[in-house]
Amino acid sequence: MSAALSDAPVALEVDGYQAPAHEAWSVVIKGRAEGIREIDELMDTVDLPLFPWQAGAKNLFVRLVPILVTGRRFPVVDPTMWHTPFSNVRRSPSE
């Protein structure tokens, strides 16, 4: 099937941003991947609200069996907070 379906551990990270709250979140799921092969399990995937970004055949369905789920929520600071006196310095092309 795929190298992802070996015994090697896999991880999936999902991040998001809530603009009104200036807050971001991140969730990481670690576990193992297994192929979905049984017809009843494949049929369960048909109605999932999945919207691929790339066209083409989707012949391999993979499930992530979680072993560990972690997450955090944190405030997003104004990017100008990280500016230093050197932030806008430009080097000449000859340097």
pLDDT at 86: 84
Q: Is the pLDDT of residue 31 over 80?
A: yes
Q: Is 81 strand, coil or helix?
A: helix
The pLDDT tens digits for 43-94 are 888 888 888 889 998 888 888 999 999 999 999 988 788 888 888 888 777 6
What are the helix (H) ranges across the chain?
A: 39-46
pLDDT at 8: 84
Q: Is residue 89 part of a domain?
A: no
Q: Is residue 66 part of a domain?
A: yes
Residues in the chain: 95
Q: Give residue 64's domain range.
A: 3-80
- What global pTM score does this model have? 0.67
Q: Is residue 30 part of a domain?
A: yes
Residue keyed to tokens 């006196």: 85
